[in-house]
Amino acid sequence: MSSSSRDPRFDILFEPVQIGPVRTKNRFYQVPHCNGMGHGKPATLAAMRGVKAEGGWGVICTEEIEISPFSEIAPHFEGRLWDERDMPALQLMTDACHEHDALAGAEIFFNGYATPNRYSREIPMAPSHLPVRATDPIQARTMDKTDIKNVRRWHRNAALRARDVGFDLVYVYAGHDLGMPLHFLSRLTNRRTDEYGGSLENRVRLLRELIEDTKDAVGDRCGVVVRLAVDQLLGPMGVTSENEGSDAIAMLAELPDLWDVNIADWSNDSQTARFSQEGYQERYIAHVKKLTTKPVVGVGRYTSPDAMVSVIKRGVMDLIGAARPSIADPFLPNKIEQGRFDEIRECIGCNICVTGDNLSVPIRCTQNPTMGEEWRRGWHPERIAKAASQDTVLVVGAGPAGLEVARALGQRGYEVALADANTKPGGRLLNDASLPGLSTWMRVADYRLQQLQKMSNVNLYLDSELSADEVLAFGFNRVFLATGSTWRRDGLGRQHQAPVLDANLANVFTPDDVFAGAALPSPVLIYDDDHYYMAGALAERLRKQGLEVHLVTPSVKVSEFTEMTMEQFRIHSGLLKMGVQIQTNTALIGAAVIGGGLLVELAHTYSDARSHLECGSLLMVTMRDPKDALFNALQSQQGQWQAKGVKSIQLLGDAYAPGSVAAAVYAGHRAARELDAPELPLDSVPFRREMIALEGD
Residues involved in catalysis: 34, 173, 176, 269
Among left, alpha and beta (phi > 0; psi -120 to 50; other), residue 475 is: left
- Yes or no: say if 64 and 79 are a contact pair by the CB < 8 Å rule: yes
**DSSP assignment, residue 38?**
G
- Yes or no: say if 371 and 632 are a contact pair by the CB < 8 Å rule: no
Supply φ then ψ for residue 599, to 5 degrees.
Answer: -110, 115
**In this structure, which amino acid lies at residue 252?**
L
Q: How many CB atoms lie within 10 A of CB 693?
A: 5
Closest by alpha carbon to 628, among 449, 484, 508, 414? 484
DSSP symbols for 515-551 = HTTPPPPSSEEEEE-S-SSHHHHHHHHHHHTT--EEE
Q: How many residues are listed for the chain in this entry? A: 697
Please tell me the distance from the alpha carbon of residue 52 to that of residue 181, in angstroms, as a whole number.
Answer: 30
Closest by alpha carbon to 60, among 99, 87, 3? 99
> CB-based burial of residue 78 (10 Å sphere; 0-12 exposed, 13-18 middle, 19+ buried)?
buried
Closest by alpha carbon to 274, among 496, 565, 529, 40? 565
Q: How many CB atoms lie within 10 A of CB 614?
A: 12
Dihedral Cα 326, 330, 331, 333, nearest 10 deg: 30
Residue 42 CB-half CA count within 13 A:
19
- Yes or no: say if 183 and 205 are a contact pair by the CB < 8 Å rule: no
**DSSP assignment, residue 237?**
G
